[in-house]
């Protein structure tokens, strides 16, 4: 069980004693049951207000972890709506169900064996070709990812484009829940981003050079010097540090260039 309902049902209590609260209460339906919750609350806060305690299905509460995917409908609108429970504020008469996980199989692979060939994705996720471009996936994405376009990119072997288009994917699985081709979109995208990062993206050579220089002790001297300084000396050094001016151009350099 992902959520538990508390024995004391605060929302109903609040409904009976509105004088306790100055905020306006609005009705919402969580898994079909009516609750009165304060206007302006996020779905997640409203559910907690209603008495649900999240053991799972809530992660960062900041709209990035993808743990609180939620579907809802509003009266008079046949369309299903999606949101992250921690981001979307409640609206009157929403019917809400949180869907923090949607079962889908993740292909298993030894990453070191994979190349950047399009066939790697085809072999691991052959259901890719069941896509009929209905676009239900993109419509269900709370991040605004063009899921269908990213799938189309994979079909034509463009792993880089799939990685780019799916960059904002938080793997909530709402696309997968809507797919009648039964694709595992978010796992495919993760594979695409892994292949892109490890096999396609051009390596920054200067980074490798710098790591090598650090390994060879380029900063050992200055770090030891700092470690052995007294607190007062450190503070003084900090005060006297040279700061890059706001108006500095691209080619600005500090006076002391020994550590660049």
- List interacting residues with another protein (CB under 8 A): 118-119, 129, 131-135, 139, 146, 148-149, 152, 155-158
CB of 93 to another protein, least distance (A): 23
CB of 140 to another protein, least distance (A): 12
CB of 192 to another protein, least distance (A): 15
- Our CB check for another protein shows the closer of 9 and 161 to be 161
- Our CB check for another protein shows the closer of 111 and 129 to be 129
- Our CB check for another protein shows the closer of 134 and 222 to be 134
CB of 159 to another protein, least distance (A): 11
CB of 148 to another protein, least distance (A): 7
CB of 90 to another protein, least distance (A): 26
SS (H, E, C) the chain: CCEEECCCCHHHHHHHCHHHCCCCEEEEEECCEEEEEECCCEHHHHHHHCCEEECCCCCCCCCCCCCCEEEEECCCCCCCEEEECCCCECCCCCEEEECCCCCCCCCCCCHHHCCCCHHHHHHHCHHHHHCCCCCHHHHCCCCCCCHHHHHHHHHCCCHHHHHHHCCCCCCCCHHHHHCCCCCCHHHHHHHHHHHHHHHHCCCCHHHHHHHHHHHCCCCHHHHHHHHCCCHHHHHHHHHCCCCCCCCCCCCCCCCCCCCC
- Our CB check for another protein shows the closer of 2 and 128 to be 128
- Our CB check for another protein shows the closer of 65 and 128 to be 128
- Our CB check for another protein shows the closer of 67 and 159 to be 159
């Amino acid at each position: 069980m992902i959520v538990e309902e508390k024995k004391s049902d605060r929302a109903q209590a609040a409904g009976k004693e509105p004088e306790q609260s100055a905020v306006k209460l609005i009705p919402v339906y969580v898994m079909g049951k009516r609750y009165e919750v304060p206007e302006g609350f996020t779905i997640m806060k409203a559910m907690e207000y209603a008495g649900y305690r999240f053991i799972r299905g809530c992660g960062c509460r900041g709209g990035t972890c993808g743990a609180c995917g939620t579907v809802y409908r509003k009266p008079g609108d046949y369309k299903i709506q999606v949101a992250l429970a921690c981001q979307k504020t409640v609206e009157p008469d929403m019917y809400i169900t949180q869907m923090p996980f949607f079962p889908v199989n993740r292909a298993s692979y030894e990453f070191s064996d994979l190349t950047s060939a399009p066939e790697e994705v085809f072999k691991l996720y052959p259901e890719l070709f069941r896509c009929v471009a209905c676009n239900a996936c993109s419509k269900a994405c709370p991040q605004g990812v063009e899921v269908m376009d990213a799938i189309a990119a994979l079909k034509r072997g463009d792993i880089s484009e799939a990685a780019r288009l799916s960059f904002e994917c938080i793997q909530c699985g709402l696309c997968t829940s809507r797919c009648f081709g039964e694709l595992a979109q978010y796992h495919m995208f993760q594979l695409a981003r892994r292949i892109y990062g490890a096999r396609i993206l051009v390596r920054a050579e200067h980074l490798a050079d710098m790591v090598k220089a650090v390994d060879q002790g380029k900063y050992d001297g200055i770090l030891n010097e700092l470690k052995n300084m007294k607190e007062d000396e450190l503070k003084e050094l900090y005060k006297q540090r040279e700061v890059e001016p706001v108006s500095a151009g691209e080619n600005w350099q500090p006076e002391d260039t020994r550590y660049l």
